Chains A and B, each alone.
Chain A
Amino acid sequence: MAAGASSWSFTEDDFGAITQSLQRFLYESNARCALLVDRTGQLVATVGEQPKFDPTAFATLTAADFSANDQLARLIGETDFNSLFHQGEKESMYLADVARRVILVVLFDNRTTLGLVRLKMKQSVDELTQIFQAVFQRAQSGQAQGGGLLQGAEDEIDKLFQ
Chain B
Amino acid sequence: MSMINYASREINCKIVYYGPGLGGKTTNLEHVYGKVQPDTRGKLISLATETERTLFFDFLPVDLGTIRGFKTRFHLYTVPGQVYYNASRKLILKGVDGIVFVADSQIERMEANQEAMQNLYDNMAEYGYDLTRMPFVIQYNKRDLPNAAPIRELQAALNPGWEVVDGQKQRVTPDAYHAGENLVEQLPTGEWVERATYFEAVAVTGDGVFDTLKAVSKLVLKSLA
Quote the shortest CB–CB distance from B119 to chain A (angstroms).
17
Q: In the complex the two chains form, is A12's CB within 8 Å of B3's CB?
A: no
Give the chain B neighbours of A44 by CB distance below 8 A: 3, 5
Interface-forming stretch among A106-114, A119-127, A153-161? A153-161
Q: Assess whether A9 is interfacial by the CB under 8 Å rule.
A: yes
- Residues on the A chain within 8 Å of B110, using CB: none
Q: Is the interface of A mostly helix, strand, loop or mixed?
A: mixed
- For residues 1 through 59 of chain A, which have their beta carbon under 8 Å from a beta carbon of chain B? 1-12, 15, 38-42, 44-45, 54, 56-57
Nearest chain B residue, comparing its CB with the CB of A60: B59
Interface-side segment among B125-133, B143-151, B200-208: B125-133
- A76, CB-defined interface residue at 8 Å: no
Return B165 CB to nearest CB of chain A, in Å: 13
Interface segment among B27-35, B65-73, B166-174, B190-198: the answer is B65-73
Q: Is the CB of B3 within 8 A of A57?
A: no
**Known interface pairs A5-B95, A11-B6, A40-B1. Does A160 touch B42 (Cβ–Cβ under 8 Å)?**
no
The answer to whether A4 and B225 touch across the interface, beta carbons within 8 angstroms, is no
B157 surroundings in chain A (CB, below 8 A): none
Instruction: For B1, list chain A residues within 8 Å (CB).
Output: 4-8, 38, 40
Question: Nearest chain B CB to A68's CB is how many angstroms away?
Answer: 7
The answer to whether B129 touches A2, judged by C-beta atoms less than 8 angstroms apart, is yes
Report the Cα distance A8→B75, complex, angstroms.
16
Residues of B within 8 A of A152 (CB): 225
Task: Name the B residues within 8 Å of A137 (CB-CB).
Answer: none
Instruction: For B97, list chain A residues within 8 Å (CB).
Output: 4-5, 7
Residues of chain A within 8 A (CB-CB) of B96 are 4-5, 40
The proximity string for B residues 100-138 relative to A, scoring 1 for CB distances below 8 Å and 0 otherwise, is 000000000000000000000000010111100111000
For the complex, what is the distance from the CA of A8 to the CA of B97, rounded to whole Å? 12
- Which chain A residues lie closer than 8 Å to B56 at the CB level? 64, 68
- Please name all residues of chain A whose beta carbon is closer than 8 Å to the beta carbon of B6 when the two chains form the complex: 9-12, 15, 145
Compute how far the CA of A5 lies from the CA of B133 in the bound complex, rounded to whole angstroms.
Answer: 11
Q: Given the interface contacts A38-B3, A57-B59, A146-B2, does A157 sit within 8 Å of B133 by beta carbon?
A: no
Given A42-B14, A149-B224, also A161-B45 (CB < 8 A): no
Inter-chain contact B67/A3, CB cutoff 8 Å: no
Residues of B within 8 A of A15 (CB): 5-7
B95 / chain A contacts, CB cutoff of 8 Å? 5, 38-41
Chain A proximity mask over B40-80: 1 for CB below 8 Å, otherwise 0: 00110101000000001101010011011010100100000
Q: How far is the CA of A157 from the CA of B222 in the complex (A)?
A: 7
A83: Cβ under 8 A from any B Cβ: no
Decide yes or no whether B83 CB sits under 8 A from chain A: no
Q: How far is the CB of B128 from chain A (nearest CB, A)?
A: 6
A61 within 8 A of B: yes
Given contacts A3-B133, A153-B67, contact A9 B5 (CB under 8 A): yes
- A141 within 8 Å of B (CB atoms): no
Residues of A bordering B, CB below 8 Å: 1-12, 15, 38-42, 44-45, 54, 56-57, 60-61, 64, 67-68, 71, 144-146, 149-154, 156-158, 160-161
9 A-B pairs closest in CB distance? A40-B95, A5-B1, A9-B4, A4-B134, A3-B133, A15-B7, A150-B225, A7-B2, A146-B4
List 5 additional A-B contacts (Cβ < 8 Å) besides A42-B12, A56-B43.
A3-B130, A42-B3, A45-B7, A54-B43, A68-B56
